[in-house]
A and B are shown apart, each in its own frame.
Chain A
């Protein structure tokens, strides 16, 4: 069964540093998403990407965040200057219409 692959599984970074979280979505999917989940809390929508551009973003997705699909296969989330409160699990998802598959996530720890 096709999977959404995320790397790394765990990243520790210093506050103020830039991080790039990487995702390889399922190849024939049209919609791409990033969600985050602070430990023990609900899954929160960050951004959706469709037709090579951001289609919607949440209030969490401020100027410190950006997404790219640089080569038609990878889908990345960049956080320019990490804050302690960015510590969370970040999930990439891909899909078509309302169906989507989530990756196993990257645990980001900002120290």
Chain B
């Protein structure tokens, strides 16, 4: 019940295209859903996050869509650029308490071709 399932495992998109990565969770207690971007040799960096009281959040070219009833959320990268090539992880957490641990998805390796 702690799992976060992520797909696809890898994705190739042409420059200017839309990249879409999907995640699904099981634990309805999760109430914070971030996306992290990781470049080779670096730690994950927070990209954008959403809480379940909204269905969509947009920051620049990055949008999270959230479907609470389906327990799914997705990352859309509009006008994808070669500099977006990285591994993307979705994650989930429950706020409050003494932990706030993040459960990560399995990651999506995105390659944006020029």
Considering only residues 90-114 of chain B, those with a C-beta below 8 Å from chain A are 93, 95-107
Chain B residues with Cβ under 8 A from A98's Cβ?
A: 32, 34, 49, 93, 95, 100
12 new A-B contacts at CB < 8 Å, known A31-B100, A43-B89, A98-B95: A33-B101, A35-B102, A42-B105, A43-B102, A56-B101, A91-B43, A93-B43, A98-B32, A100-B46, A102-B44, A103-B43, A104-B42
Per-residue interface assignment for chain A, residues 9 to 50, with 1 indicating a CB less than 8 Å from any chain B CB and 0 otherwise: 000000000000000000000010101000001111100101
A→B interface (CB under 8 Å): 4, 31, 33, 35, 41-45, 48, 50-51, 55-56, 91, 93, 95, 97-105
For B41, list chain A residues within 8 Å (CB): 104-105
Residue of B nearest to A43 (CB): B104
A41 contacts B43, C-beta separation under 8 Å? no
Whether, in the assembled complex, B45 has its beta carbon less than 8 Å from a beta carbon of chain A, the answer is yes
- Dominant SS among interface residues on chain A: strand
List of 5 A-B pairs having minimum Cβ-Cβ separation, nearest first: A102-B43, A55-B98, A56-B99, A43-B104, A98-B32
| Residue on A nearest B34 in the bound complex, by CB | A98
Task: Output the nearest chain A residue to B4 by Cβ-Cβ distance.
Answer: A42
Question: Chain A residues near B45 (CB, 8 Å)?
Answer: 102
B43 & A56 in contact (Cβ 8 Å cutoff): no
Residues of B near A4 (CB, < 8 A) are: 43
